[in-house]
Structure 1
Amino acid sequence: MSNATLSLPVEGMTCASCVARVERAISAVPGVHDASVNLASNRASFSVENAEAAKAVAAAITRAGYEPVEEARDFSIAGMTCASCVARVERAILAVPGVTAASVNLATERAAVRGLGVAPAAIIAAVARAGYEAAPAEGASAARLEEETARRAAEESALLRDTLIAAALTLPLFLLEMGGHIVPALHHTIDHVIGMRNAWYLEFVLASAVLFGPGWRFQRHGWPGLLRGAPDMNALVALGAGAAWAYSAVSTFAPALLPDTARHVYFEAAAMIVTLILAGRLMEARSKGRASAAIRRLMHLQSRTARVERDGATQEIPIESLIAGDIVVLRPGERVPTDGEVLDGSAMLDESMLTGEPVPVRKQAGDRVTGGTLATTGGLRFRATAVGGETVLAQILAMVEGAQAAKLPIQAVVDRITLWFVPVVMGIAALTALAWLVLGPEPRLAHALVNGVAVLIIACPCAMGLATPTSIMVGTGRAAELGVVFRRGDALQQLGEVSILAVDKTGTLTEGHPKLTDVIGDTTLLPLIAAAESRSEHPLAAAIVSAAREQGLTLPEVERFEALPGRGLTARVAGHEIAIGSARMMAERNIGFEALETEAARLAGLGRTPFLVALDGKAAAVIAVADPIRASTPGAIAALRALGLRVVMVSGDNRRTAEAIAAQLGITEIRAEVLPADKLNIVSALRQEGPTAFLGDGINDAPALAAADVGIAIGTGTDVAMESAQVVLMGGDLTGVARAVGLSRATMRNIHQNLFWAFAYNAALVPVAAGALYPVAGVLLSPVLAAAAMGLSSVFVVTNALRLRRFAA
């Protein structure tokens, strides 16, 4: 191959010495030429002779102590019709120097590509050489939705037109050839009026019009694929229908070339094959359109305009012109155009698109609103905090599209099979024809043609190619409607295999809005306690500070503060040394709390979280904070247990408090008094006992979320937590986990059903098409019936996947 020039981002370079080091490392790789590194742009440019050299460059840069940056790009792919196409496009992309990974999806007609400095033009050219068309794919947007909807509508319209034309031409052809077999009087009428030879001429004209009119798409794509040695579904149809047409043409115009017993025509079979496959493609296209309905509904939630206050007046502007900081005016019945923070007003917002929950939520000053939600009553003024691709809705769309484009581990087996499937089918068809020529009864040549064509037509791998991606598309789309977003496609499979769910208590089982419930001992210490807690980032600290301010207390200045993760804090406030924390912390400081231990135990038994307070080294008080259990949690726990999941509660609370809360929820396994760093160890230990998911919402949950087989983050939690998770629950409560697990299992069942049908169909009908039943039952499968069965197999797979749209948690 000719040299390819790559431009690769490199991180970690800070000076001219770095540049020289990276250049030397790249130049030392065999097959690399013209290495040049630019410090200002942090990029390395070089030419490579092959794909292996490009990968070796990345390894060399890493060894030199710097980081080559992989870039991810999406492409739309046109022209794919079956699983063999997918495998071929993938192979073509992976052969491009610099490409490290490629995943092609038949249902979404997209390719996700990761690479090191690969120019989009190189990907597009490689796909073109493979016989398909590629173009950079834009992110999720209303404009792109309109473009894709228009393209799909045009495709359906063209298929409908071609199907109707083919059917109109095929019907008289079918009556001419087959009508006489059904109604003998018709045969005599045709013979008497126009003659059988003239009837064949007319059949030739009609069949040719079908094959080279509506059926030209199969010829246009099929024969070039055959010539490239990369046959696909189009090649099977072109070869099968073309063979029937060519044989019939010879019988019609050069009968002397065939034995007397083999002078038959199969024009009706050639035309019916094309017509039925076009009809199957039309039904498949319509079904695929319904499969992507969920993401289209989400995209339709994006507003086209926003009403903003600018230059002292309220004006309506295109959503693309909206900028962060704009003051947006929302009226009753309108959709929120972008994410923001309410300045004034009050409204009830339907957030079901976000959470899956149908009950409207009241929003007022200080609350956050999300683009795409609907104001059922009331109006608001709010400040835009995120616009365009930064909004929650845009991120949900991006995550859903990413998951839909992904491949599950189960798909790898399918890909390996389908890459060789079409060539193997062509080989079986050739062997079938040869066996009938050598061993079959007269007319041998006719039997060889009919059975060889039947094998070619019936074994198309369309159903295999659609079996997995269509189910993923429908499943992830339905999940998004229920408030569950799969950030990675493989999580859809992994979540269904999970047997253990570890749940962080605060903010997941509970509301995450704790309140101060008790102050026992020296109650005058509350201002000092609240002052110390005001410096803490612990979620329970805010409850103590809020309680003091609600009572109108003045908080003194904090002179010194130290947080002790998992234990408590120490501070110097108003000249006093104050320590607040667990019994473990007090024991480490040799501070005795014998007089208050009974009260602390009582509070813990009530499900409250007690903290011990020491003033100047002496026991002074016990305070308690309670975080109410979410109303939906008991039902969610019951649903998870019904799914066969083992639920483990993970809490930083003392054991008595954790046990009291667990008892209220029916949870029998508890990991209490857990430090943030311990969560990772707990998840690792649970994974030894079975596939484990972890549910959390805080920054300190991120390591555990990443370590679990499946990390599940509450959508109301921190960005760090959500970035570490594979699944995000937008609704903010445990009910979403039961939905996610149930939908994951339903999707995997659906995929297994589809794969079974696709493979069983071929395993059962290919031998029948080859004539396996003829010796025992005298039965042969007509190519026409083979074409109908092939089309129906794809429609069955897509229709079965569409059942997931009715999934209800």
Structure 2
Amino acid sequence: MNTLVGLGALSSFAVSSLATFIPKLGWKTFFEEPVMLIAFVLLGRNLEQRAKIRATSDMTGLLSILPSKARLLINGDAEEPSSTVEVPSNSLSVGDEIIVLPGDRIPADGIVRAGRSNVDESSFTGEPLPVTKLPGAEVAAGSINLNGRITVEVRRPGGETAIGDVVRLVEEAQTREAPVQRLADKVAGNFTYGVMALSAATFMFWNLFGSQILPAAFHQGSSMSLALQLSCSVLVVACPCALGLATPTAVLVGTSLGATRGLLLRGGSILERFSTVNTIVFDKTGTLTIGKPTVTKRDVMSLTYSCEGIFFLVPVIKLNTGPMISCYQTDLAGRVTKKNSSFIMATGEAANLDLLIGDKGKGVYLLTVKLKCRQDHNGPSSCRLDPTSTHKWSEVEVLKLAAGVESSTIHPIGKAIVEAAKTLLCPNVKVAEGTFTEEPGSGAVATIDERKVAVGTLEWVQRHGVVGDSPFQEVEEFKNQSVVYVGVDGVLAGVIYVEDQIREDARQVIESLTLQGINTYLLSGDKRSAAEYVASVVGIPRERVLYGVKPDEKKKFISRLQEDQYIVAMVGDGINDAAALASSDVGVAIGGGVGAASEVSSIVLMQNRLSQLLDALELSRLTMRTVKQNLWWAFAYNIVGIPVAAGTLLPVTGTMLSPSIAGALMGLSSIGVMTNSLLLRLKFKSIHKDIFRTSLYIKAPLDADHTANESERLKHPYTAAR
């Protein structure tokens, strides 16, 4: 644009100068034209800059919620107000301790070290209800301390805060070009040369044929003067800026607007792809459910030992490590699960002893047995075991071991089990160093107190030594719960039932997507009954439910949809969704996701509301509609403006554009594009509605019971699971 404006202004000035110094040429002077031209262009740029500032005001508004001052605790004594000093918030360092009083905004991300308060985090999370913060709780910069004095240890100060990260990511996203923008830039790049050629053609045409087309009075006897004026108008009226601004201004407004609504949109290309999505695949746990499971029930195994043999008890020391005794271990159904010849260590009274049965060095099991003993006059008692004896695991013991393994995981199931163990005051156990192994979607295993403990799906514990199927029958009562199996040294010790509540807005979202013609699928690592139950509640057809799928199988399923020319978005929240999120056309992480999930996602729903998915879809469509309107306006303006500036209306109506008027129109075209982009604010209204205010109290399961191989169904993703 600068090239065309510069050529137009210089040409106008040069022609006017020649007409002044060589009067006999008979040319018309128009010194006012370059002055007015530059004035109009500068005015247009000023208005354009104001519009850009307005478009980015959302980002500056996010940062403005951070307080400029902080109360730094200089002596570490939280009880003395005099020990604090006000410092600029951007001067805080990691490890500093600050005092936050009621009504203050928290200046940095950190950990509560002392005090208790309710904190309003709505500016960042969108959650309207205050959150209680106790020592050890994390607090986010920009949130408001409502009613208590707290001491906060700074973890992420200044631009390193979560809000700062959001602003940085949005600014990076605004620099990423959409494919349609690259096309517009390519056209605009060649546009200048085309306009210069049209300007030269206009000059030649009117210089050669102007006197024949128009009366002499019109061009004052000099067709060259008229030709120069019209060619300058062509140079000036053309506006490649409108083409160049069409996409980035709309993307700028769209991404900024999304950030204020809790949507992190990573660039114009994402908006363009998401606006064309026709298939959305959902994970279950933490996506269609709230992701905060609780342990509701625990069942433990009763192990029956049938032992044969005789041993002798020395009455004085009540201890015997006598002969090997053959024992058969059976489960509740009477099936033999283990047979071994074991050492026996017995302590207790002769009539009722506690035996530790097992292999040396591999862990043993406590077994209380009845004995039939006969006392010899001069020797030890001769005792025989009853035909059968039973050992039953305690709920505390099973939960303690499971929590020990899950303490090293970040999966919602693991957190629920750990919390349940804390509630029952289970003693802490230590995992042997280097023994912990985890497989996303299956479970975890570790060694605790020299015992190998496997926690997860039935298939997982079977892979780690548990023999046979589960004796626990799934009844109607538990169809909406996930079952976590606990195996200890090859023995199925018990099961833990976990449940999670379905999101209140899940059904609304699925229904809205269905009405828009978007296909919805559910992929879950959970058992069939659990996955189909959640799908039935939220409205996903049963034939579009895949259960028992591992992370790599989720990725394969999405690839098959893409091979069938579907444009696929994947919505998930956990690390086991990362591969599927990365392979989809658009990956959507909910609630910020877990590390890898949010890192590979194109869109992040930061307010942890599933209905934000509809907001993101609506915003992407409106943004791309605005881009197309801008491009249409830019092309239409140039298609109409350039011929008019070239004098096509001159023979018919006597209308022509002077260079100054052409410059004004050129500026208005860019302003029109900016204004239309800003109107996106008015067009976009959050479609999230506060319905389902009455809690559904519907519980949904967690990914746990991994079923049989699903490779056949993955080959036919549109066939109902059988």
Residue-by-residue CA offset, 1:772-806 (whole Å, 9 max, x unaligned): 23344443334343222211111110011112233
Partner of 1:429: 199
Tell me, yes or no, if structure 1 residue 412 matches structure 2 residue 182: yes
Aligned to 2:656: 780
Q: Which residue of structure 1 lines up, in the alignment, with residue 616 of structure 2?
A: 740
In the alignment of these two chains, the number of paired residues is: 570
TM-aligned CA distance change 1:265 to 1:566, over 3 Å: closer
Q: Secondary structure at the match of 1:627?
A: strand
Rounded to whole Å, the distance in 2 between the matches of 1:762 and 1:509 is 49
In the alignment, which residue of structure 2 is the partner of 1:289? 53
Q: Which amino acid letter does the alignment assign opposite residue 6 of structure 2? A: A
1:496 matched to 2:282: no
What amino acid does structure 1 have at the position aligned with 2:685? A
Residues 785-804 of structure 1: matches in 2 within 5 Å? 785-804=661-680
Q: Is the 8 A contact 1:463 1:797 kept in 2?
A: yes
Identify the range of structure 1 (731-740 vs 607-616) with the bigger mean alpha-carbon deviation: 607-616
1:511 aligned residue: 290
2:207 aligned counterpart, secondary structure: helix
Match of 1:257 among 14, 22, 25: 25
CA distance in 1, matches of 2:540, 2:679: 34
Question: Residues 532 and 558 of structure 1 are in contact (CA less than 8 Å); yes or no, is this contact kept in structure 2?
Answer: no
Residues 153-232 of structure 1 aligned to structure 2 (within 5 Å): none
What CA distance in whole angstroms lies between the structure 1 residues aligned with 2:253 and 2:109? Answer: 27
Rounded Cα–Cα distance in structure 2 between residues aligned with 1:281 and 1:575: 75
C-alpha displacement at 1:465, in angstroms?
1.7
Aligned twin of 1:242: 10
Q: Deviations over 1:614-652 (max 9, x none)?
A: 677666654310011233333333344444432222211
- Distance in 1 of aligned mates of 2:112 and 2:629: 48
Name the amino acid aligned to 1:729: L
Matched residues in 1 for 2:394 and 2:131: separation?
Answer: 38
Matching of residue 676 in structure 1 with residue 551 in structure 2: yes
Letter in 2 for 1:679: K
Question: Bigger CA drift: 666-675 or 771-780?
Answer: 771-780
How far apart are residue 769 of structure 1 and its match?
A: 1.3
- The answer to whether structure 1 residue 279 and structure 2 residue 43 are counterparts is yes
Is the Cα contact below 8 Å between 2:40 and 2:667 reproduced in 1? yes
Bigger drift between 557-566 and 625-634 goes to: 557-566
Q: Is the counterpart of residue 300 in structure 1 residue 64 in structure 2?
A: yes
Q: 1:808 to 1:344 in 2, by over 3 A?
A: farther
Cα distance change of structure 1 residues 483 and 300 upon mapping to structure 2, 3 Å threshold: same
1:634–1:593 distance in 2 versus 1, CA, 3 Å: same
CA-CA distance at 1:343 after TM superposition: 2.5
Q: Deviations over 1:157-181 (max 9, x none)?
A: xxxxxxxxxxxxxxxxxxxxxxxxx
* 2:718 matches 1:718: no
Deviates more, 1:557-566 or 1:608-617: 557-566
Unaligned 5+ runs, structure 2: 78-82, 302-391, 687-722
| Matched position secondary structure for 1:630 | coil
- Give the structure with higher Rg (CA): 2
1:567 CA displacement: 3.8
What secondary structure sits across from 2:520 in the alignment?
Answer: strand
Residues 549, 281 of structure 1: CA spacing in aligned structure 2 closer, same or farther, 3 A cutoff? closer
Q: What TM-score do the two structures reach when normalised by structure 2?
A: 0.73
Partners of 1:574 and 1:234 lie apart in 2 by 77
Report SS of the residue matched to 2:71.
Answer: strand
- For residues 376-525 of structure 1, what are the structure 2 equivalents within 5 Å? 376-440=146-210, 441=214, 442=216, 443=219, 444-520=223-299, 522=301, 525=394
User: CA offsets, 1:366-425, max 9 Å, x none?
Assistant: 321111223344442221112234321221111011111221111111222222212221
Provide closer, same or farther for how the CA distance between residues 346 and 493 of structure 1 changes in structure 2, counting only shifts above 3 A.
Answer: farther
Structure 1 position 370 matched with structure 2 position 140 = yes
Distance 1:637 1:361, change over 3 A: farther
More displaced 10-residue stretch of structure 1: 520-529 or 681-690: 520-529
Q: Aligned residue for 2:627?
A: 751
Counterpart residue number, 1:547: 420
Contact 1:603–1:609, Cα closer than 8 Å, also in 2? no
Tell me, yes or no, if the aligned pair for 1:632 and 1:734 is still in contact at 8 Å: yes
Q: Which amino acid is 2:396 matched to?
A: P
Deviation at 1:717, TM superposition (A): 2.9
Deviations 1:510-563 (A, max 9, x none): 222211112245595322322332213243133223223312344667788765
Q: Structure 2 vs 1, CA of residues 567 and 376 (structure 1 numbering), >3 Å: closer, same or farther?
A: closer
Q: State the TM-score, normalizing by the size of structure 1.
A: 0.65
CA change 1:424–1:792 in 2 (3 A) is: same
1:696 corresponds to:
572
Counterpart CA distance in 2 for 1:520 and 1:482 is 45
Match of 2:585 in 1: 709
Cα separation, 2, equivalents of 1:347 and 1:710: 39
- 8 Å CA contact 1:592, 1:618 repeated in 2: no
Q: CA 1:488–1:253 in structure 2 vs 1: closer, same or farther (change >3 Å)?
A: closer
Change (3 A) 1:359 1:577: closer
Which residue identity is paired with 2:549? V
Q: How many angstroms apart in 2 are the aligned matches of 1:545 and 1:350?
A: 28
Q: CA deviation at 1:340?
A: 0.8
Give me the whole-angstrom Cα distance separating, in 2, the residues matched to 1:321 and 1:558: 41
1:573/1:464 Cα in 2 relative to 1: closer, same or farther (>3 Å)?
closer
The structure with the largest helix share of the pair is: 1
- The separation in 2 between residues aligned to 1:652 and 1:691, in whole angstroms, is 23
Gaps (5+ residues) in structure 1? 1-232
- Specify whether residues 617 and 320 from structure 1 end up closer, same or farther in structure 2 by C-alpha distance, changes over 3 A only: closer
Which residue pairs with 1:226 in the alignment? none
Aligned pairs for 1:305-344 (under 5 A) are: 305-311=69-75, 312=77, 313-344=83-114
Give the drift of 1:334.
Answer: 2.0
Between the aligned partners of 2:65 and 2:153, the Cα distance in structure 1 is 19
Distance verdict in 2 for CA 1:306–1:642, change over 3 Å: farther
Seen in structure 2, the aligned counterparts of structure 1 residues 243 and 590 have a Cα distance that, compared at 3 Å, is closer
Q: Which amino acid aligns with 2:563?
A: Q
Cα offset, 1:270, TM superposition:
3.7
Higher relative contact order at CA 8 Å, sep ≥6: structure 1 or structure 2? 2
Matches of 1:508 and 1:240 in 2, distance apart? 59
Is the Cα–Cα contact under 8 Å of residues 458 and 470 in structure 2 kept in the other structure?
no
Cα offset, 1:766, TM superposition: 0.8
Instruction: Tell me the distance in 2 between the aligned counterparts of 1:478 and 1:450.
Output: 44
Tell me which of 495, 498, 509 is aligned to 1:625: 498
User: Secondary structure at 2:99's aligned position in 1?
Assistant: strand
- Structure 1 CA distance, aligned partners of 2:226 and 2:650? 11
Tell me the equivalent position of 1:63.
Answer: none
- Please list the CA deviations of residues 52-87 of structure 1 after superposition, one character each: whole Å capped at 9, or x if unmatched: xxxxxxxxxxxxxxxxxxxxxxxxxxxxxxxxxxxx
C-alpha distance in 2 between matches for 1:572 and 1:321:
46
In 1, the alpha carbon distance for the partners of 2:429 and 2:143 equals 43
Q: Does 1:535 align with 2:405?
A: yes
| Deviation of 1:771 (Å) | 1.7
- Give 1:480 shift: 0.6
Q: 1:664 — aligned with what?
A: 537
Deviation at 1:307, TM superposition (A): 1.1
Q: Which residue of the partner structure matches residue 147 of structure 1?
A: none
Percent pairwise identity: 38
Q: Tell me the C-alpha RMSD between the 2 structures.
A: 2.8
Q: 1:273 to 1:353 in 2, by over 3 A?
A: same
Residue 555 and residue 379 in structure 1: after superposition, are their counterparts in 2 closer, same or farther (change >3 A)?
closer
Shift of 1:439: 1.1
SS of structure 1 residue aligned to 2:133:
strand
Question: 1:14-50 deviations in whole A, cap 9, x for unaligned?
Answer: xxxxxxxxxxxxxxxxxxxxxxxxxxxxxxxxxxxxx
Q: Distance in 2 between matches of 1:376 and 1:638?
A: 38
The Cα offsets for residues 245-296 of structure 1, whole Å up to 9 and x where unpaired, read as 44334444432123xxxx4333444443233223222221211211111111
The answer to whether the 8 Å contact 2:441/2:576 transfers is: no
